Amino acid sequence: MIEIKQLAAQGDVVFRRIDRLPSNAVERKVTGPIVVAHSETGHHHAIHDAGVRLFETVRHDAMVRYLSVDGASADVVHHRAEHTHQTLRLLTGVWEVRRQRQWVPDPADDAAWVAVAD
């Protein structure tokens, strides 16, 4: 496990500490674990700890979310039996969670941004 103070990546997901939530952030009620990033192969990046709240902006961008870690810390676990990413421990505070993107040429539209496959 790696304790994160400012910035880290877990595969295609980047966690960055920020000073405060955006003014247009809205809390999303979650029952069960918080899945911060769904995977195309089912190996999600999830938090099972209590004391963590999930936020999205009013103009929802599926690639960016926010976490408020109100307890001492929260562990982000990568659910995959093999080739797993190491668990990240986020310390108390507000975190931006961003899926990495890549630019892919698209003949129909000149180009497009797509999520990086992990």
CA dist., res. 94 & res. 19, Å (int): 7
Which portions of the chain are predicted below pLDDT 50? none
Do residues 114 and 39 lie in contact, with contact meaning Cβ atoms separated by under 8 Å? no
pLDDT digits (tens, 9 = 90+) for 83-95: 567 899 999 999 9
pTM: 0.80
Do residues 30 and 67 lie in contact, with contact meaning Cβ atoms separated by under 8 Å? no
DSSP strand pairing (88-99 vs 2-4) = parallel
Task: Give the bridge partners for 112, in sequence order.
Answer: 104
Give the pLDDT of residue 102. 56
Alpha-carbon radius of gyration of the chain: 15
What is the signed CA dihedral for 31, 34, 39, 44, rounded to 10 degrees?
-100
